[in-house]
Structure 1
Amino acid sequence: MRKFEVPTREQVAPAAQAIFDDVKQKIGMVPNIYATIGYSANALDSYLAFQGAQAKGSFNAKEREAVALAVAQANGCSYCQAAHTAIGKMNGFSEEETLNLRAGKSGNERLNVIVALARELTLKHGRPSSETVENFFAQGFDNAALMDLVLLVADNTVTNYVNNVTEIAIDFPVAKPLEEAAEA
């Protein structure tokens, strides 16, 4: 397979350089996943706009991180498992909670139905069971929240696929494998 390198600012088009500068100003770094998407300024600009729009949906930051953890695990994306474990901890999750969320479960019933549906949407390619969908609605979610969740899963799947195809270096602390956690 082709070896992908994370491009530096100087290796991308001027439009992508401007986006790199903006990202660095906002979060203090350009994560490798964004830099890699930056091979295409159009792709990076489109992705960041789509990702930013997710913050306006039905789910708060902690819930969005829970979805990201479940989807990253379901898609086997070690980069996103690492990134969202770190970000999840910044949003108040413990290490144990991040591992449970990656497995698609939570002791919090609201989070539990969110991650169960997100995981099933991912693993079953958008065809979750009726029971899982009904459990989501029984928790008080509506059709708008369902649409927001589907798009949140899609948002996270994009970066999962970028990492899985490029196998770029992880620039966050590596997440503990679920198997290792289960044995502990």
Structure 2
Amino acid sequence: MKTLKPLTIEEANENSQVIFSAVKSKIGRVPNLYAAMGVSDKLLRGFLTFTETLKSGEFTSKEYEAIALATSQTNSCDYCLSAHTAIGKMNGFTEQDTLDIRDHSIEDTKLKAIGTLVSDLINLKGHPSDTTVDNFFDAGFNKAAFVELIAIVALTTISNNIYHNGGFEIDFPKAQNTEQLHLV
């Protein structure tokens, strides 16, 4: 059963309507994910504020998108893979880069360390291996980046779970190779 659906501006409460208007004026539309989150203006406002805060942190925009891609891949979220593939391309990734991040074949040492740490955090329930953590620090990241990565994984997992409980239309160009996510 899919519990969540995107709200129209008329269906949203007054606070969510204000947020929808701000999002629309900033990016030209309200993505379905945000429209579904809008059932709780507290969640939507907090999510957007936390996202902006973390995007001003330790990671470049490409590294941030690599974290979001690796998280969405590990959590099997078609919607977020599509969104972060599109955003990643706007930040300089090629289509192949996004696929390589998702399957851990990216050659860039920093991006590989990010992807491995994300995967370990999710698959090992918050307990990455010592080797994975050491590789992350050896790639040049600091402890602030480590905790911010944990936060970005948590934030992206929220959006993954909203989609999993909504199953609404993907309103971004569909990411390649998502059909493999559902073979398990």
**What is the letter of the counterpart of residue 85 of structure 2?**
T
Q: Which moved more, 1:62-71 or 1:99-108?
A: 99-108
Retained in 1: the 8 A contact 2:6–2:37? no
Q: Give 1:154's aligned residue.
A: 154
Deviation of 1:3 after TM superposition, in Å, equals 5.3
Deviation of 1:105 after TM superposition, in Å, equals 3.9
Q: Give 1:16's aligned residue.
A: 16
1:29 is aligned to 2:29? yes
**What is the letter of the counterpart of residue 42 of structure 2?**
N
**Which runs of no fewer than 5 residues in structure 2 stay unpaired?**
none
Deviation of 1:84 after TM superposition, in Å, equals 0.6
> Which SS does the other structure have where 1:10 is aligned?
coil
Retained in 2: the 8 A contact 1:70–1:101? yes
d(CA) in 1 for partners of 2:61, 2:20: 23
Deviation of 1:176 after TM superposition, in Å, equals 1.0
**What is the letter of the counterpart of residue 145 of structure 2?**
A
Give aligned pairs, total.
180
**Which runs of no fewer than 5 residues in structure 1 stay unpaired?**
none
Question: Between the two proteins, what is the percent identity of the paired residues?
Answer: 43
**What is the letter of the counterpart of residue 65 of structure 1?**
E
1:54-133 alignment runs, 5 A limit: 54-133=54-133
Deviation of 1:103 after TM superposition, in Å, equals 1.8
Retained in 2: the 8 A contact 1:9–1:17? yes
d(CA) in 1 for partners of 2:81, 2:168: 13
d(CA) in 2 for partners of 1:127, 1:11: 41
Q: What TM-score results when the alignment is normalised by the length of structure 2?
A: 0.93
1:142 is aligned to 2:132? no
RMSD after superposition:
1.4
d(CA) in 2 for partners of 1:146, 1:30: 31
d(CA) in 2 for partners of 1:160, 1:40: 16
Residue deviations 1:56-100 (CA, integer Å, cap 9, x gap)? 211011110011110001001000011111111111111111111
Q: What TM-score results when the alignment is normalised by the length of structure 1?
A: 0.93
d(CA) in 1 for partners of 2:44, 2:152: 17
